[in-house]
């Protein structure tokens, strides 16, 4: 049995007597204006496989008794105003494939019991008020493909056990307070297409292997703590569409291979590093929509053609540019 009441401008609270629909397999209530608490009576829906209450105005805690919904495969409470901790009882949902609690006001740490969700493929906890260290137990989730932990208050390092998550495709931990060594094990995630580690305080240089991951399309790293390093060949950017290496203490000249014709870069941000010298002439090959080189020590004469590129947004402030008169006169 399916109940699809999504996007119906429903108001008020969720009626507890929904728990009497014991044959219900799918319940969609997303995109309404429902408020109040999530009724504990929903625990009676023993055949429920999908429960989607997202995009409402629900408040209060997540009922622990929902851990009794053993048939549940998808649980989506995102974009509400839920508070309190993530119940450890959710670790009982051994058939769960998708858990989305993003954009709420949940607090506390990630319960280690979530490491028991062996079939979990997607975990989204971004934009909450979660804190503490990341549980190493998540490293046992070999089917996990996407992890969104952005914009919380997590501290500590990324557990080495996460290298065992071989199916990982998208990994977001940006906007936290993570420290410790740069997690070089991410280069072992051969299916990885998106990696966002920005806004933390990892140490060490970037491992060279990260630039040669054959499926990586988006790489965002910022605020590295190190003694400085250079970008070295070989680097393969043929699939990379977004490259952000902001405030990573990279020095030397900006390598010309970043702008080679075989790149598909749509966003490039190398701001607030320690680049020196000239911008390579191969920059004219770049068709990026946004480009930021602000805050580097580049002493390059600006060429007129930079205003004629397809790049729609450019940030090149806080440098030492001068105008190349000959380039302007020759319309280079």
Mean pLDDT over 57-78 rounds to 97
Reduced to 3 states, what is the DSSP secondary structure of residue 298? strand
Task: State the residue range of the domain holding 312.
Answer: 227-332
Confidence of residue 59 (pLDDT cuts 50, 70, 90): very high
Question: Per the domain annotation, does 269 fall within a domain?
Answer: yes
What CATH number did the domain enclosing 301 receive?
A: 3.80.10.10
Confidence of residue 278 (pLDDT cuts 50, 70, 90): confident
Mean pLDDT over 292-316 rounds to 54
Which among 91, 57, 52 is positioned nearest to 74, based on CA atoms? 52
Confidence of residue 283 (pLDDT cuts 50, 70, 90): confident
Confidence of residue 296 (pLDDT cuts 50, 70, 90): low
Question: What's the total number of domains in the chain?
Answer: 1
Question: Per the domain annotation, does 292 fall within a domain?
Answer: yes
**For 255-260, which contacts have Cβ atoms below 8 Å and span 24 or more sequence positions?**
255/231, 255/280, 256/280, 256/281, 256/282, 257/233, 258/231, 259/283, 259/284, 259/285, 259/286, 260/285
* Residue 318: per-residue pLDDT: 52
Question: Per the domain annotation, does 163 fall within a domain?
Answer: no
Question: Per the domain annotation, does 280 fall within a domain?
Answer: yes
Question: Per the domain annotation, does 214 fall within a domain?
Answer: no
* Residue 298: per-residue pLDDT: 60
Mean of the per-residue pLDDT values for the chain? 88
Question: Per the domain annotation, does 283 fall within a domain?
Answer: yes
* Residue 188: per-residue pLDDT: 95
Mean pLDDT over 215-233 rounds to 92
Q: What is the tens place of the pLDDT at every residue in 135-191?
A: 999 999 999 999 999 999 999 999 999 999 999 999 999 999 999 999 999 999 999
Confidence of residue 323 (pLDDT cuts 50, 70, 90): very low
pTM for the model: 0.90
Question: Per the domain annotation, does 242 fall within a domain?
Answer: yes
């Amino acid at each position: 049995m399916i109940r699809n009441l999504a996007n119906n401008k429903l108001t008020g609270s969720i009626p507890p007597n929904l728990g009497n629909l014991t044959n219900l397999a799918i319940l969609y209530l997303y995109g309404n204006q429902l408020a109040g608490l999530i009724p504990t009576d929903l625990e009676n829906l023993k055949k429920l496989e999908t429960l989607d209450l997202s995009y409402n105005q629900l408040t209060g805690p997540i009922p622990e008794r929902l851990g009794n919904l053993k048939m549940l495969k998808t649980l989506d409470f995102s974009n509400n105003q839920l508070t309190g901790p993530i119940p450890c009882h959710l670790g009982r949902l051994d058939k769960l494939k998708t858990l989305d609690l993003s954009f709420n006001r949940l607090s506390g740490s990630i319960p280690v019991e979530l490491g028991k969700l062996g079939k979990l493929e997607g975990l989204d906890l971004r934009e909450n008020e979660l804190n503490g260290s990341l549980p190493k137990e998540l490293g046992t989730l070999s089917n996990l493909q996407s992890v969104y932990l952005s914009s919380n208050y997590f501290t500590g390092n990324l557990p080495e056990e996460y290298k065992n998550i071989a199916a990982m495709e998208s990994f977001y931990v940006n906007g936290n307070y993570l420290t410790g060594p740069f997690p070089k094990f991410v280069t072992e995630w051969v299916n990885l297409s998106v990696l966002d580690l920005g806004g933390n305080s990892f140490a060490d240089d970037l491992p060279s292997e990260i630039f040669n991951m054959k499926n990586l399309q988006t790489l965002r790293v910022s605020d590295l703590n190190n003694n400085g390093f250079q970008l070295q060949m070989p680097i393969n950017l043929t699939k990379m569409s977004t490259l952000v290496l902001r405030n990573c203490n990279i020095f030397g000249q900006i390598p010309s291979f970043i702008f080679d014709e075989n790149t598909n870069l749509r966003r490039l941000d190398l701001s607030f590093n320690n680049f020196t010298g000239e911008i390579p002439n191969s920059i004219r090959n770049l068709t990026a929509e946004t480009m930021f080189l602000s805050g580097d020590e580049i002493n390059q004469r600006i060429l007129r053609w930079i205003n004629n590129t397809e790049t729609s947004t450019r940030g090149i402030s806080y440098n030492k540019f001068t105008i190349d008169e000959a380039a302007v006169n020759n319309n280079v």
